[in-house]
A = this chain, B = another copy of it.
Amino acid sequence: MEDKNKRTELSQLGEFGLIDEITKDFRCVNDSTLLGVGDDAAVLRPEKNRQVVSTDMLCEGVHFDLSYVPLKHLGYKAIAVNVSDIAAMNAIPKQVTVSIALSNRFSKQAVEVLYEGIRAACSQYKVDLVGGDTTSSRSGLVISVTAIGEVDETLLAQRKGAGLKDIICVSGDLGGAFMGLQVLEREKQGFMANPNNKPELEKYERIVGRQLKPEARMDIVHELRDFGVIPTSMIDISDGLASELFHLSKNSGLGMAVFEDKLPIDRMTYNTAVEFGLDPITCALNGGEDYELLFTIKQDDFGKIENHPDIHFIGYTQELEKGLYLVTKNKNVIPLKAQGWNHFNQQS
């Protein structure tokens, strides 16, 4: 029996040994993957007439804090956020490549746990790991993922394409991942001030989960297909709703009106925002990393999904000159600002 507590230094393995060890449990499931890891390049045979490619890099100390992010969750998240970009094109993810740089403070066992999360996400989203690079770094952990998806030309959704008076839709709820981060940061500060302080995370489980283990909304992509709805434009919410509305606006050449009382905010997110002295609406508008889908549909398609329990109709597109604004519960009109996640985070 293998000793679970033993530590194998990366230097004992070398680059080739590590890659072999890590990739031996990965199996390719997609017909379009002809050859995965093991040659100078993977070999693919795309089956749809459009392919989409996205890439993201996560750096320790910037995008994640290993003092409260478990490595397995980090691996899962690295895949999920890239799959979310594929979902945002209304495409189906097929392949990923994963490159990691790590310093020698990581053991072989730590890398295996990271890849357990990667494998769990690949299995969840039915994507094949077809390549990557594993290298040492002088400092922290860096993870770079490239995701490849496929879509029929007729189903492709971009940031451009929204029409006038289209309905603006958002999946799930907003602000939860941001409030989860606030809870994690607070508990970390408490623990650093007094290591006997036990982190109180149970009562915040859902929003902490939104931060640590976000899901790409592939379920929404599949359901929209089932209902025969093709979004006229789409984007995933990584930097906050307001910021993403500006992207759709800029690319589609339209203004946007959204309604405060239509913004989907989970009860725990709402209560936690109040507890932290933050405005829940601001958290929903500017909190990042929810990885929900923001999209527009033609009014004719509204009836097809109006009863969907997890799609919310938050506003409509309008002439560009009218700008982007929020209509409050009191019918006041407030111009939106594209604060973005980083900026917002610095202020809080």
Binding stretch for chain B, among A85-93, A113-121, A180-188: A85-93
Query: With A62-B135, A139-B140, A142-B137 in contact, do A97 and B55 touch (Cβ < 8 Å)?
Result: yes
Q: Which residues of B contact A132 (CB under 8 A)?
A: 55
Binding stretch for chain B, among A36-44, A254-262, A280-288, A306-314: A36-44
Q: Which of A85-139 contact B (CB under 8 A)?
A: 85-86, 88-89, 91, 95, 97, 99-101, 130-133, 135-139
Determine if A12 is an interface residue (Cβ-Cβ < 8 Å): no
Q: Which residues of B contact A85 (CB under 8 A)?
A: 40-41
Q: Which residues of B contact A101 (CB under 8 A)?
A: 57, 59, 62, 142
A-side interface residues, number (CB < 8 Å): 65
Does the CB pair B50–A131 fall under 8 Å?
no
Does the CB pair B149–A57 fall under 8 Å?
no
- A-B contacts, 29 of them at CB < 8 A, read A14-B343, A35-B158, A39-B158, A39-B251, A40-B235, A41-B52, A41-B53, A41-B149, A42-B52, A42-B53, A42-B54, A43-B50, A43-B89, A43-B156, A44-B51, A44-B52, A45-B50, A53-B95, A55-B99, A55-B133, A55-B144, A57-B101, A59-B137, A61-B137, A61-B138, A62-B101, A133-B144, A137-B140, A138-B140
Does the CB pair B159–A40 fall under 8 Å?
yes
Does the CB pair B40–A144 fall under 8 Å?
no
Query: With A55-B146, A99-B55, A142-B142 in contact, do A236 and B135 touch (Cβ < 8 Å)?
Result: no
A53 partner, pick from B61, B130, B159, B342, beta carbons under 8 A:
B130
Does the CB pair B146–A57 fall under 8 Å?
no
Shortest CB–CB separation between residue A309 and chain B, in angstroms?
25
A135 partner, pick from B57, B131, B156, beta carbons under 8 A:
B57
Determine if A63 is an interface residue (Cβ-Cβ < 8 Å): yes
Closest residue of B by beta carbon distance from A52: B41
In the complex, what distance in Å separates the CA atom of A251 from the CA atom of B40? Answer: 12
In the complex, what distance in Å separates the CA atom of A133 from the CA atom of B239? Answer: 14
Determine if A148 is an interface residue (Cβ-Cβ < 8 Å): yes
| Interface core residue of A41, A130, A132 (most chain B CB under 10 Å) | A41
Closest residue of B by beta carbon distance from A238: B40
Interface string of A204-247 (1 = CB under 8 A from B): 00000000000000000000000000000011100000000000
Q: Which residues of B contact A49 (CB under 8 A)?
A: 45
Closest residue of B by beta carbon distance from A130: B53
3 interchain residue pairs of minimum CB distance: A144-B144, A41-B54, A139-B139
Q: Which residues of B contact A45 (CB under 8 A)?
A: 49-51
In the complex, what distance in Å separates the CA atom of A328 from the CA atom of B42? Answer: 36
Q: Which residues of B contact A137 (CB under 8 A)?
A: 59, 61-62, 139-140, 142
Shortest CB–CB separation between residue A53 and chain B, in angstroms?
5
